[in-house]
Amino acid sequence: MREVIQGYTREAGVRGLERQLGKICRKIAAKVAAGENVTAHERTDGYAYDNAHQHKTEQQGSGNAAVAIGTENGASAASPTIDKPQVLKYLGKREIHEDEIVERVEMPGVAVGLAWTATGGDIMFFEATKSPGDKGFTLTGQLGDVMKESAQAALSYVRSRAAALGIDAEIFQKSDIHLHIPAGSIPKDGPSAGITMATALASLLTGKSLRPKIGMTGEITLRGKVLPIGGVKEKVLAAARFGLETVILPKRNEADLDELPKSLREQMNFILVDTVDEVWAAAIDNGEEG
C-alpha cells in the first residue's frame, strides 16, 4: 500500500489510490478468470495458501496489501498478497522518483517549485539554459499569461541584481535564455512561481547549483519583494511527499503553517522570506558548509 501511495499517486486525497488499487484488482481478477494460479505466486516473501474451506495469508511490513478473490460459491478461493515487485508488475514503472529531485538540481539552472492543482499539491521543475544569441527570452511549457509576466519580472530583477550576483552584464546582450517547465501538455498559470523562476535564472547565470531537497513558492515583484500565495498546506504536503526537506515561503504566509500537522511542522525546515535576495541566500549553493 505504501509503495502505491508514494510511487503512483500525487493528490492529497484517495481517488488516485482507489484507481490504482482497482487496476491491480482487475488484473488479478483477469488472471483468475483465465484459470491462472494467483495464490502464493503473487508474493515474493511470506506465504499464502487456501483449500476448499479456508485461506490464510501472512503480511510482512506495511508495504504489502492483501487482495481477496471470491469463488462462485462465495468462499474465498485465494488471498494473494501484493508486494513491491508485484506492484511494479501490475502498475508499471514508478511515476514518482524522489531521487530524481536531487539528480536534476545538481545542474545549475534547475529549481523546484511547489504548485497547487485540482487534485492537491504538486512539485514542478523549472529549467533554464542559455546559448549564444541576441537577447532573446523564450518561455515554454504551456504557460498562461500571468505566469509569463512573472517570468519577465523574474528576468528583469535578475538583470538588475547582476553586479551583486557576480554576473557579467554583457551576458544578457550576447545570450538567448530559455526557461522551460516540463510536463508541457499540462497548462500552467498563476503568479506563485515567481521566486522559483528567478532562482532558476540566477542559478544558471551564476553557474551555481541549488542546495538539494529545497522547494519554494512565492510571487515576485519587480523590486524583488516576495508576496504571499495560496495553497500553502497542499504545497507543503506535496513537498514532504516528494522527499523535500526545506520549503521557502513568503513571510506573510507564516500564519498558514498553523494549518499543518504538528508532526510535519517538526519534520520540515521552513524558511520565511520577504525578498528574493533572501531566497537566493537560502537556496543557492555557494560552496559553504551549513
41: in domain: yes
257: in domain: yes
Same domain, 241 and 125: yes
Domain span including residue 30: 2-91
Same domain, 74 and 122: no
Q: In total, how many domains does the chain have?
A: 2
Beta-bridge partner residues of 248:
216, 271
290: in domain: no
30: in domain: yes
For the stretch 192-226, pLDDT in tens is 999 999 999 999 999 999 998 999 999 999 999 99
Site of grid cell 503512483: 8
Nearest-angstrom CA–CA distance, 183 and 58: 41
- Does residue 192 carry a catalytic annotation? yes
Report the CATH number that the domain containing residue 139 is assigned in CATH.
3.30.230.10
For the stretch 97-140, pLDDT in tens is 556 666 777 899 999 999 987 777 889 999 999 999 887 899 99
Same domain, 86 and 15: yes
| Active-site entry in 150, 175, 192, 203 | 192
Same domain, 152 and 259: yes
Same domain, 222 and 83: no
- List Cα–Cα distances, 56 to 25, 63, 75, 83, 158, in angstroms: 18, 18, 13, 16, 64
For the stretch 16-50, pLDDT in tens is 677 777 777 777 778 778 777 665 444 444 333 34
State residue 46's pLDDT score. 39
Burial category of 164 from C-beta neighbours within 10 Å (exposed 0-12, middle 13-18, buried 19 and up): exposed
State residue 75's pLDDT score. 42
State residue 45's pLDDT score. 41
- Does residue 23 carry a catalytic annotation? no
Weakest mean pLDDT among 62-66, 86-90, 155-159: 62-66
Residue 76's pLDDT band (cuts 50, 70, 90): very low
288: in domain: no
